[in-house]
Amino acid sequence: MPEEITIRPDPNKVLIDELSPISDKIVVMSSGAAVNGNAGWGGYALSKCAVNMMVNIYSKELVDTKIYALAPGVIDTDMVAKVISANKDRFSSIS
């Protein structure tokens, strides 16, 4: 049976509510995984889709604050190293 995943955007909303009165720009970390589906990445990809939609909605609600979702590309982390090593044929240019 698939694992159940709960996505909680409310902590992000709390931060945005705290930051918007003191900054006219907020950058939120997204990922290419939000638009590029990969087997085994369901929870991570869904959470980044939720982040992107949160930024979309809150940027319309907080019109005096520019809110950006930044997807920085491949970052050298343990998670990325594990994915690349398990899928060397798919990520040959960065392995």
Asked whether the predicted pLDDT for residue 64 surpasses 90, the reply is yes
**Does 20 score more than 70 pLDDT?**
yes
pLDDT at 37: 73
Torsions phi, psi for 29 (to 5 deg)? -80, 125
Average pLDDT (50-60) is: 92
Q: Which residue has the higher pLDDT, 24 or 40?
A: 24
**Residues with catalytic annotation?**
44
Query: Please, what is the Cα angle at 82 between 11 and 28, to 5 degrees?
Result: 25
Model's pTM, two decimal places? 0.71
**What pLDDT is stored for residue 1 in this prediction?**
55
Supply the DSSP symbol for 32: G
Rounded-to-integer distance, Cα 85 and Cα 40, Å: 14
Question: What proportion of the chain, given as a percentage, has pLDDT over 70?
Answer: 83
